[in-house]
Amino acid sequence: MPVDLDPAAKFTAYAHPERLVTTEWLQQHLGTPGLTVVESDEDVLLYETGHIPEAVKIDWHTDLNDPVERDFVGSAAFADMLGAKGISRDTTVVIYGDKNNWWAAYALWVFTLFGHADVRLLDGGRDKWVAEERELTRDKPVITPTEYPIVERNDAPIRAFREDVLAHFGNPLIDVRSTEEYTGERTHMPAYPEEGALRGGHIPSAASVPWARAAAPDASFRTRQELDAIYRDEAGLSDGDSVIAYCRIGERSSHTWFVLTHLLGFEGVRNYDGSWTEWGNAVHVPIALGTEPGAAPQPR
């Protein structure tokens, strides 16, 4: 049984208002049967410093990524992980996190790979909850483990691989990294560890729209009107477009994937999670430098 939706007026302008809840809604619904709150942060220890009461933690490194291959966890590991956190297939999952819900959006995207139906983001994430001085606790949640079914991970609809990008030329690409990464001045985010890309620049024809432009100063999503101005008017996307978004390892572009898919209603948006740490190391792929997108190469 899905938990009721948040009727907040701001959400009604979005394509899929059922994908968001407000801090106020969450406060009122804490403890509702069938609802599990998940915190997902960049910092693996932030949850332990204090979290929303009864929220469980999912860490992008240790829970969502395969420990050996560069890939997401498989069906069995995902089922085990969710079962251990007390999540069932029909649970309403509300995810929140730090940094404008950056990693929360990544977790939501991985849940979507496994077809979990009712997964939502807390608009404004951890930052807004904290700013409003709502309760945080270090008390461990009481978890009743469940049997989460082993379901197939279905990558094709929302995940792009390198060969998909090469075949996609001529259709819109969105590069959501910082301007310095896009132009090729640097291969990683300022102040972040060098994750090793041999070449700098961007995939030719990709429009530059740094991911955090979709967030307001209070970490909530910008309004429908503001988002349309950025992605339709500026970046030139229009209805019916097939879009691929990418960044460095696919985390920031999950945030943009959420915006394009659930807030603006684009269908078939894919996240290229190999992103620049694959493309910038790959042999025989085209790269453009500078501030201009560059012409789209022939699709291969």
Partner 1 sequence: MAEWSVMTATELPAKLAEIRDEFLELEEPDRLLLLLEFADELPALPSRYADHPDLLERVVECQSPVFMFVEVDVDLAVHLHATAPRESPTTRGFASILAQGLDGLSRQEVLNVPDDYPNTIGLTKAVSPLRIRGMTAMLARAKRRLREGAA
Q: What is the longest distance spanned by two Cα atoms in the chain?
A: 56
Least spacing, CB of residue 58 vs partner 1, in Å: 14
The three state secondary structure string of the chain is CCCCCCCCHHHHHCCCHHHEECHHHHHHHCCCCCEEEEECCCCCCCHHHCECCCCEECCHHHHHECCCCCCECCHHHHHHHHHHCCCCCCCEEEEECCCCCHHHHHHHHHHHHCCCCCEEEECCHHHHHHHCCCCCECCCCCCCCCCCCCCCCCCCCCECCHHHHHHHECECEEECCCHHHHHCCCCCCCCCCCCCCCCCCECCCCEECCHHHHECCCCCECCHHHHHHHHHHHCCCCCCCCCEEECCCCCHHHHHHHHHHHHCCCCCCEEECCHHHHHCCCCCCCCECCCCCCCCCCCC
The yes or no reply on residue 61 touching partner 1 (CB under 8 A) is yes
Least spacing, CB of residue 254 vs partner 1, in Å: 17
Nearer to partner 1, 105 or 207 (CB): 105
Applying CB under 8 A, the span of 39-47, 146-154, 225-233, 270-278 interacting with partner 1 comes to 39-47
The yes or no reply on residue 70 touching partner 1 (CB under 8 A) is no
Nearer to partner 1, 31 or 193 (CB): 193
The yes or no reply on residue 198 touching partner 1 (CB under 8 A) is no
Least spacing, CB of residue 192 vs partner 1, in Å: 6
Please give the residues from 40 up to 59 whose contact with partner 1 meets the rule CB under 8 A. Answer: 42-46, 48-49, 59
The yes or no reply on residue 152 touching partner 1 (CB under 8 A) is no
31, 193, 217, 240: which one binds partner 1 (CB under 8 A): 193
The yes or no reply on residue 195 touching partner 1 (CB under 8 A) is yes
Least spacing, CB of residue 62 vs partner 1, in Å: 6
> Which residues are known to be catalytic?
247
The yes or no reply on residue 242 touching partner 1 (CB under 8 A) is no
Please give the residues from 73 up to 102 whose contact with partner 1 meets the rule CB under 8 A. Answer: 98
Please give the size of the binding site for partner 1, defined by CB under 8 A.
18
Least spacing, CB of residue 46 vs partner 1, in Å: 6
Residue numbers at the binding site for partner 1 (CB under 8 A): 42-46, 48-49, 59, 61-62, 67, 98, 190-195
